[in-house]
Amino acid sequence: MKLIQAEKIAKGAEAVIFKGTFLQSPIAIKHRLPKSYRHPDIDNRIRLHRLRSEAKVMTNARKIGVSVPSLFGVDIEDHILIIESLEGKLLFEEMNSLPIDKLDPIFVNLGHQIGLLHSNDIIHGDLTVFNVLIQLEDKLSIIDFGLGKISNELEAKADDLLTFYSTLKAIQPASNILFNTFLEGYLSVYPEGKNTYEQMKKIQSRARYIAREDRLE
Amino acid sequence: MASTEPIILGLEGTAHTAGVAVIQGPQIHANESATYFPPQGGIHPREAATYLTKQFPILLKKIFQKLQFKPDKIDGIAFSQGPGLGPCLRTTATVARAISLKLNKPLLGVNHCIAHVELGRTITPANDPLVLYVSGGNTQLITFLNGRYRVLGETLDIAIGNALDSLGREMNLPHPGGPHIEKRAQQGKNLLLLPYTIKGMSFSFSGMVTAAKKLIANHSTSDICYSFQEYTFAILAEATERALSCTKKGSVLLTGGVAANVHLQNIIKLVAKEQESLFYVVPRNLAGDNGVMIAFAGTHLLKTGEIIPIQKSQVKPRWRTDQVQVGWIS
């Protein structure tokens, strides 16, 4: 009998995803294939580095009680991660269908989870509305730690906030309210996060053509 | 002239290029431009503006001589209202206002970044693509969503073209450095170690320039050029692939001055293939700043009635791509 049964379901930017079962639990297999568009040396370096960080970050996040898929296995040689497969809808989809008052508790909870990650020096690296899975009401999981890392650097944490703010802004113009809700949750579990927020504004001010109304005061 | 499309005069002048063109629908009646090359160092805004002031009358004269019809057939005057260098924008706006008053034709304020996108949408088959806009002053991943062009990712500090120019200067290559780096890179063999910075769909290049500059003392120019292109283009490629995967747009459009880089074109072509998407690139002669793109975007503004009175035609040096209400796409 095969231990693992799986079939290809999606091709993401980072990897090909297979879904199946492992000892009857639903799993996702994330296979980082080489990218034809980058130099093989850069490609190998990046894929190996990210595989290791992703495994480490997911394990650490789970330990501190943040809802992330569990890690079942790592195959360093073939660049494969075997992780728990979670059901749910992307926050991106929910933002298009749910009214704003239903989104409020989601953003507070998301703020909590990210605050918890940051207070433990865990960086998501690609914190967008495409990487948050809404399961029930305000129950959510954070997925895809492909660009994750362990770091106590203020800049890295601030990058997480800025990435989240920017993608939020990109899909919903009236997103300042939602971001503030997120920030409330974030600061409630991670009071030092006010420094992260200050740093985020600094990074933002380095960018080109930030309109006055978009500058966070 | 069978076409019922409006005839638009486009004036580009946001930085170092003065561009004037007259178009009608997708047809280019005349196109002239002149680009300022600083004798040393980068572009000084005031000197670039002085250059534009001298060039516009010459270019306009050439354009009007080439036209098969009288200037009063022109239906609208489009100009690059922003973003860009303040002195250059003001020069261009002044020229546009004068022509608008003289011919008594409506003034159309075009966003320069969106003009690069509209150029691609007009002259390539791309209709609703994910856009990788790469130039000396801007580097953005743009796509249309809910009534506006949204910036999904962008440089957090300097643009890719600016990064190439700045590294080129340090290696004593002529300005603009981009094409020279592209040429030198072809002789490069050894991949040197550089940082790889990507933040979701955004990126930053200034740290990479600093790291590459440190290599100059001990490595050949061609290896540095080769490595710098490999790293920075890999970053752009990865961000593009991520954006394609998120938005499921099914096509990529490469536009802006750096889109003329053949190596970058090949890389983004491979990205499109990875995501089973189509690849489009603007033609080399229209990749850099030009009046044609301003006129194409201006056509849309005229059709949707977005005419600006002279009193409200102030330039917008920090005008962002996502601030523009896009009324011409449904």
What integer is the mean pLDDT of A61-89? 94
pLDDT the model gives residue B166 = 95
With beta carbons under 8 A apart, name residues in chain B contacting A39.
Answer: 191, 230, 234
Which positions in chain A touch B202 (Cβ < 8 Å)?
Answer: 163, 166
For residue A49, the chain B residue with the least C-alpha distance is: B196
- Name the CATH topology of A4-84: Phosphorylase Kinase; domain 1 (3.30.200)
Q: Is the pLDDT of residue A172 over 80?
A: no
Superfamily for the A89-214 domain: Transferase(Phosphotransferase) domain 1 (1.10.510.10)
Q: How far apart are CA B9 and CA B295, in angstroms?
A: 6
**E strand map for B232-271:** 251-255
**Whole-complex ipTM:** 0.86
Instruction: Sort out which chain B residues have CB atoms less than 8 A from A44's CB and list them.
Output: none
Q: DSSP characters for B119-182? A: HHHHHSS-SS-EEEEE-SS-EEEEEEETTEEEEEEEBSSS-HHHHHHHHHHHTTPPSSHHHHHH
Query: Residue A174: pLDDT above 70?
Result: no
User: Residue A214's pLDDT is what?
Assistant: 55
- pLDDT, position A169: 84
Q: Note the pLDDT of residue A12.
A: 82
Domain range annotation of chain A: 4-84, 89-214
Q: How many CA atoms lie within 13 A of A166 on its CB side?
A: 28
Domain boundaries, chain B: 7-116+287-323, 128-281
Pairwise CB contact (< 8 Å): B198 & A211: no
**What does pLDDT average to over chain A?**
89
Q: What is the CATH number of domain B7-116+287-323?
A: 3.30.420.40
Q: Do B275 and A125 touch (CB under 8 A)?
A: no
Q: For residue B199, give the nearest of A14, A45, A163 by CB distance.
A: A163
Question: Which strand (E) or helix (H) includes residue A17?
Answer: strand A16-22
| pLDDT per position as a tens digit, A188-202 | 999 999 999 999 999
Q: Would you say the CATH fold of B128-281 matches that of B7-116+287-323? A: yes
Residues 6+ apart with CB under 8 A from B149: B113, B114, B117, B131, B142, B143, B321, B322, B324, B326
Determine the distance in angstroms separating the CA of A50 from the nearest CA of chain B, rounded to an integer: 12
* Cα B271 from Cα B286, distance rounded (Å): 23
Nearest to B274 among A36, A171, A212 (CB): A36
Residue pLDDT, tens place only, B37-51: 888 777 899 999 999
Assess whether pLDDT exceeds 70 at residue A28.
Answer: yes
In the predicted structure, residue A217 carries a pLDDT above the cut 60: no
Q: Give me the mean pLDDT over the A52-63 stretch.
A: 96
Q: Which residues of B touch A14 (CB under 8 A)?
A: 242
pLDDT mean for each 10 residues of chain B (330 residues): 86 97 97 91 90 98 95 97 96 98 98 98 97 96 92 93 95 92 97 92 94 97 98 97 93 98 98 96 97 98 97 94 91
Residue A213, pLDDT above cutoff 70: no
CA distance B253 to chain A (A): 17
| A78 catalytic residue (yes or no) | no
Choosing among 3.30.420.40, 3.40.30.10, 1.10.3660.10, 3.30.9.10, the CATH entry for B128-281 is 3.30.420.40
At residue B213, the pLDDT reads 97
pLDDT given at position B42: 77
Report the residue of B199, B227, B254 to disrupt the A interface, i.e. the one with the largest count of A CBs within 10 Å.
Answer: B199
